[in-house]
Structure 1
Amino acid sequence: MNTNCDYMNINVLRLDHRVKRDVRITTHVCLTARAFGASKIYLSGEEDEKLMKNVEDVVTRWGGSFEIAYKKNYMNLIDEWQNNGGEVIHLTMYGSQVQNVVEEIKSSEKDKLIVVGGSRVPTKIYKKSDWNVSVTNQPHSEVSSLAVFQHMIMDGEEFNLDFNDAIFEVVPVAEGKQVNIHENNEKINDF
């Protein structure tokens, strides 16, 4: 998959996943991260092999090289990320307004780890992050925050991403649905 801004690697960390409560929202966080140009997502909280397998199946069917991994200790991941020269952006309604900091964030070619919360984000995340960024200062979803932020950091280039080795490919049409099916990189059908 041709991802992000040609120079920075974007990964996402989803905090505090709860198997019995968060499957749908965490799945949407994963799908959004992938569709908007991230190359990997890390899940913390409860390990959810079924969710991870479902995301891997999406990658197999819809293409690209997006990865998903479980990290029990997210602070170790954040420390490792920063020790390797990467930056951490925590999306929160209590941070600096995205429109005021996005250019500064984009100006750095360092790899980005975007952190999205779960049930309650601990203070240590706010303190450890290079940026605490708010996408509006109103309550809404981590999915919408992630989509808006990735769109802004990518300058809209997520619309031009190439998801290699896709089995299914949606063909944009004004009416109806058109999906091409590819097998061994050859178009075999559309419906």
Structure 2
Amino acid sequence: MNVNVLRLDHRLKRDTRITTHVCLTARAFGASKIYLAGERDNRLMENVRDTASRFGGNFEIEYTESYMGVINKWKSDGGKVVHLTMYGTQAHETAPEIREDGSDILIIVGGSKVPGRVYKAADWNVSVTTQPHSEVSSLAVFQHLLMDGKEFDLEFENPVLEVIPTAHGKTVNIHDENR
């Protein structure tokens, strides 16, 4: 199952930090690509690409002017769409069904008010609690449930920097051969 993420309604003056965190969360939890809709933010996209190149893997970020175009193409290519919203079915109940379906997944995370056509286009509208909270936390919890905890075993190819888990302090391997 290939997982991509679509971030709706990015706003330059307001959302740079949160959108960056959405991108990094998507990558760390196993997504291979994120589409950025809303205002074009070349600096954010370069920062995400730089992080991905330093920490390894093949994560991509792409700007789109038409989020519905991304959704419609994804579906026409046989993929399924998950829209994260506090109004959907509970993630812990729905994630096993989505995982077992086996289709490639496009996860949509909103920004400001999400248009009704996104709810209608989604194969699953999924909530991570029924309370308002961050799209970053929703994405992390949902991807964790979708991956069934296997994100802890992900290996990112050709890292320059590799964090080694330690109880105290910071240990980072630097792979000069990947520079």
Coarse TM-score class (shorter-chain normalised): over 0.9
Query: C-alpha displacement at 1:161, in angstroms?
Result: 0.5
State the Cα deviation string for residues 75-97 of structure 1 (Å, max 9, x = none): 01100000000000000000011
For residue 124 of structure 1, the aligned residue among 117, 120, 124 is: 117
Does 2:47 align with 1:54? yes
What is the aligned length? 179
For residue 13 of structure 1, the aligned residue among 6, 30, 38 is: 6
Letter in 2 for 1:14: R
Residue of structure 1 equivalent to 2:177: 184
In structure 1, runs of 5+ residues without a counterpart are: 1-7, 187-191
In structure 2, runs of 5+ residues without a counterpart are: none
Note the aligned Cα RMSD (angstroms): 1.0
Letter in 2 for 1:30: C
Residue of structure 2 equivalent to 1:102: 95
Indicate the percent of aligned positions where both proteins have the same amino acid.
64
Letter in 1 for 2:59: F
* 3-state SS of paired residue (1:184): helix
For residue 41 of structure 1, the aligned residue among 4, 14, 34 is: 34
CA–CA distance in structure 2, aligned partners of residues 89 and 168 of structure 1: 32
For residue 151 of structure 2, the aligned residue among 155, 158, 174 is: 158
For residue 139 of structure 2, the aligned residue among 146, 154, 157 is: 146
Query: C-alpha displacement at 1:185, in angstroms?
Result: 4.7
Instruction: State the TM-score, normalizing by the size of structure 1.
Output: 0.92
Q: Which moved more, 1:140-149 or 1:102-111?
A: 102-111
State the Cα deviation string for residues 41-95 of structure 1 (Å, max 9, x = none): 0000000000000000001111000000001100011000000000000000000
Instruction: Give structure 1 regions of 4+ aligned residues with deviation exceeding 2 angstroms.
Output: none
